[in-house]
Amino acid sequence: APNCPRNSIMMPDRKNWAPRLGIAYALRKNTVIRSGFGMFFDFNSNIEQNSIRVSSANWPYSDSLSITGQNTDILGPLSPVLSLSNPWPTTTGAPPGSNQSISRFDRTPYAMEWNFGIEQFLPGAIKLSVDYVGSGGRRLVDARYQNMAVLGSGSISSRQPVHNASIFAWRATDGNSNYDALQMKLERSFKTGLTFMNSFTWSKGFDTSSDANNTIGPPAYTYDVGLSYGPTDFNIPVVNTTSFVYNIPGGRGQRFGSSMGRIPDQIIGGWESSAIINIRSGTDYSVLAGSDVTNLGIDAGQVAEMVSPAVPSGFKQTQIEWFNKSAFQLPTAGTLGNTSRNFLIGPAYQDVDFALMKNVRI
């Protein structure tokens, strides 16, 4: 763009160093310790910010330009026609004053991942592993509402930094996330007709916004993003999954009925069972005010006011009423609610898939 001081829209980020280290050490014959650390950069976000999100000469603001009927034989209807040397022909109309803006000083998002675990081989072809797994996202793409009014009295425009402008979306790389988990796995290799695996995860994930596109909502208050720091929108604290395949030992050549005739073997032999059992806790959710009672100029995920326990002692949770609805009310006008983001947990989930199969030799 004419007002861009360099050939690239974004200032280059030349400090992306991504070390990776992995260690495995055998304490003894059947015991192994493993640990690792790595940094991984999200170059897709950097490309997106450079090419897609800023799409006109109105840098650093973005706008979309839709042109139809550009046929190479007709060469119209625009004059001058579109070409690689002139991809942005002269257009009329006001500049996109309140669409979306990004910082040209954005850095490349990255994640740090680390783990430490012990793996033990047990009798019966069973392997047990216990791991601590953690990760931290930094410089994550996050959308904020800029020119939001500050808390206080008076008109909204009088409390906005730029009084004659509206609120607009601002994409920056200043989001953070953290994840910590205990992961355990008990696994049996296929032996004597049986294989199984049980995986257990106890974890917690935190961030200020779980979606760069903000389909759920950006931080509620631009001037204190820490108020929106809480469990992620996809946080599931406990997950346990058990799966197995078992060849029932009946029929010719098996433990039971090994010498039976061919006809009985067709009925009794060749049976196999399998199952997947999934048990997990519920996901987190918030209770929102549903309107701009804070008087900021936009309803950006403003939370409700809690006046009594959401799930009091003796309260029976049902599908109709999972929490005490009378525990919440609208915040006092001009103030933020006292609840936090994703502080409630939804119902748990259980699922069982079972199969009984008959293998027939032809």
What whole-number distance in Å separates Cα of residue 20 and Cα of residue 29?
27
- Tokens 């829209």 correspond to 9
For residue 153, what are the CA distances in angstroms to 147, 150, 294?
16, 9, 10
pLDDT for residue 127 = 96
Kind and range of the H or E run holding 242:
strand 238-247
What whole-number distance in Å separates Cα of residue 186 and Cα of residue 120?
10
What whole-number distance in Å separates Cα of residue 6 and Cα of residue 26?
54
What whole-number distance in Å separates Cα of residue 18 and Cα of residue 38?
7
pLDDT for residue 89 = 57
pLDDT for residue 54 = 46
Query: Both tokens of residue 193?
Result: 């007709």
What whole-number distance in Å separates Cα of residue 304 and Cα of residue 220?
12
Burial (CB count within 10 angstroms: exposed 0-12, middle 13-18, buried 19+), residue 133: middle
Query: Both tokens of residue 126?
Result: 């069973």
pLDDT for residue 56 = 43
Query: Of 156, 190, 283, which is closest to residue 231 (Cα–Cα)?
Result: 283
pLDDT for residue 274 = 97
What whole-number distance in Å separates Cα of residue 294 and Cα of residue 303?
10
Residue 38: CB atoms within 10 A of its CB come to 15
CA dihedral 326, 328, 329, 333 (to 10 degrees): 170
pLDDT for residue 268 = 80
pLDDT for residue 55 = 44
CB-based contacts of 19-26 (< 8 A; 24+ apart in sequence):
none
pLDDT by position in tens, the chain (length 362): 555 666 766 778 888 999 999 999 999 999 999 999 999 998 665 555 544 444 444 445 555 556 665 555 555 555 556 666 665 555 544 444 445 666 778 888 899 999 999 999 999 899 999 999 999 999 888 777 888 899 988 889 899 988 877 787 777 788 899 999 999 999 998 888 899 999 999 999 999 888 766 544 566 788 888 888 899 989 999 999 999 999 988 777 677 777 777 777 777 888 899 999 999 999 999 999 888 888 988 877 788 999 999 999 999 999 899 999 999 999 998 888 899 889 999 999 999 999 999 988 77
Q: Check: CB of residue 166 under 8 Å from CB of residue 153.
A: no
Residue 222: CB atoms within 10 A of its CB come to 20
Burial 261-287 (b: 16+ CB within 10 A, else e): eeeebeebbbbeebeeeeebbbbbbbb
Q: Check: CB of residue 52 under 8 Å from CB of residue 9.
A: no
Query: Both tokens of residue 251?
Result: 């029929």
Q: Check: CB of residue 5 under 8 Å from CB of residue 101.
A: no
Q: Check: CB of residue 227 under 8 Å from CB of residue 208.
A: no
pLDDT for residue 65 = 58
CA dihedral 82, 85, 90, 96 (to 10 degrees): 100
Burial 240-257 (b: 16+ CB within 10 A, else e): bbbbebebbbbbbebeeb
pLDDT for residue 269 = 81
